[in-house]
Structure 1
Amino acid sequence: MFRVALPQIFENMEEATVGKWLKSEGDRIEIGAPLCELITEKTTLDLPAESAGILRQIVAPAKAVVPAGFILALIGDENEELPDIEAENAALRARKAPSSEIEAPQLNIAAPTPSAASRIRATPAARRAAKDAGISIEDVAAKFPGKVIGEDDVKAFSA
């Protein structure tokens, strides 16, 4: 059974959002065929299959935000037994989670700096949607603090 894992596409990439799945469970998969869209802070791209077979299970649904290394799907033969991927992914999330014992230093900031916009985590699609709607991505980010802003967040903000 081949595990389709989220690759670390960029050196500093910690996570990505699964866009839409381009294949469905039960589909025959060829090597190099696009499986799903991946949305990172820098780009949106298709994830190609590294193994041929049948898409047996989609583990990460569309719009899921997952860390690098997370098992997204399983490709194998029709009769192969499915492994317990939930345990593997839970262990990965536990390793990637910030330690609660380490306390972040407290910063007293009177006002946001002009470069604060560059630190807003938003997908390229969200930035485009905000620009097209004439909305400031900073305003959207203020409504959804601590979250990677997606296109749906921009739509919810403008509604």
Structure 2
Amino acid sequence: MCVTTSAASVQVESVCQAFKQKGVTQLVSMAVMEQTAIRSVQTGIAKGDNSSCDRSTGECVGGCKAGWNGIDCTQKCVFTYGDNCARLCSARNCSGTSSSSCDHVTGKCDGGCKPGWKGNDCRTVCTQGLEYGADCVGNCCARMCEGGSGICPKDTGRCDSGCESGVAG
């Protein structure tokens, strides 16, 4: 017998009807799938603002947001990050931190990038001949190299022929 006194009486009544029609095992399975679908939508991990989840499977229609995977988009990426968990944390060029784990959404390097690399996930190389150093903040054109700017290594920006007379560095 189903007795309800709350605002959720409609939902309880539908559960009671399903119980009568399908039996306990199927009902529990349906309830778990429905709760998974509700959790995926409530946590905002389904892709897109208007995403919905299949009520019978829990699958997020349209896929998962970056950093999440699984049929119901409730599992964080592990040792990977981004859309479809397709980028490897170990492929980043982070300074002073372990590269095997990372932020599951952005891949952000907490300690910044190794010299010669830039970007949130330190996967973008400095533009050869224009920039150098950690996060590519050095300007190759601003160097005072003997005989002109010469080669500008992306990691150090060091003048291969030394500095102009009167300049140290």
Settle same-fold status: TM greater than 0.5: no
| TM bracket (short chain) | under 0.3
TM-score, reference length from structure 2? 0.24
Of structures 1 and 2, the larger Rg is shown by 2
- Indicate the structure whose relative CO is greater, using CA pairs within 8 Å and at least 6 residues apart: 1
TM-score, reference length from structure 1? 0.25
Q: Which has the higher strand share?
A: 1
